[in-house]
């Protein structure tokens, strides 16, 4: 993942050639690209990963499993009724205190090409309020 961070873009308008000279000012911060440090911290700890029926089918196919096998092996019932009503399931965590996603391996996502929307859009489209505490890419 390597894109310009929306988090930074949202802060203030940039100085551009299209801006009248009388209104130009120096941006009081440095504009940088977000570079994922592959720390894996967004894939462990508290939180859930939702999988829609369409995503589940894609992941099952990627893993060479039937939908039923994938569902039984890697997901659990959603605790939220709104998710259950849409057929959304939640990914399992690995056992242990770190609460790692079942698909996290060596800090990388085992299903990266087909990972759920929630994972693909982090941290540029959504993030948790405490992201600076754990996302190494945001810290640097």
User: How far apart, in whole angstroms, are the C-alpha atoms of residue 101 and residue 80?
Assistant: 19
Tell me if residue 124 falls in helix, strand or coil.
coil
Q: Which of 5, 42, 50, 88 binds ligand SF4 (CB under 6 A)?
A: 42
- Minimum CB separation of residue 36 from ligand SF4 in Å reads 3
Q: Which of 37, 48, 98, 114 binds ligand SF4 (CB under 6 A)?
A: 37
Q: Is 75 in the site for ligand SF4 (CB under 6 A)?
A: no
Which residues are 108's β-sheet partners? 105
Give the start-end residues of each E strand in 2-140.
2-4, 33-35, 50-51, 75-77, 89-91, 104-105, 108-109
Q: Which of 70, 74, 90, 103 binds ligand SF4 (CB under 6 A)?
A: 103
List, in order, residues 6 or more apart from 114 with CB less than 8 Å away.
Answer: 55, 58, 59, 61, 62
C-beta closer to ligand SF4: residue 17 or 106 = 106
Q: Is 114 in the site for ligand SF4 (CB under 6 A)?
A: no
Q: Which residues bind to ligand SF4, rule: CB under 6 A?
A: 36-43, 49, 91, 101, 103-104, 109, 111, 115, 119, 123, 134-137
């Amino acid at each position: 993942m390597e894109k310009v961070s929306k988090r930074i873009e949202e802060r203030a308008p940039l100085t551009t050639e299209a801006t009248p000279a009388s209104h130009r000012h120096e941006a009081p911060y440095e504009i940088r690209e977000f570079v994922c440090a592959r720390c894996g911290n967004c894939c462990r700890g508290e939180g859930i990963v939702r999988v829609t029926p369409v995503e589940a089918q894609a992941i099952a196919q990627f893993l060479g499993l039937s939908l039923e096998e994938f569902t039984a092996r890697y997901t659990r019932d959603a605790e939220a009724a709104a998710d259950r009503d849409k057929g959304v399931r939640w990914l399992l965590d690995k056992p242990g205190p770190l609460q790692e996603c079942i698909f996290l391996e060596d800090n990388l996502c085992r299903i990266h090409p087909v990972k759920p929307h929630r994972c693909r859009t982090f941290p540029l489209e959504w993030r948790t309020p405490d992201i600076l505490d754990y996302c190494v890419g945001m810290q640097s």
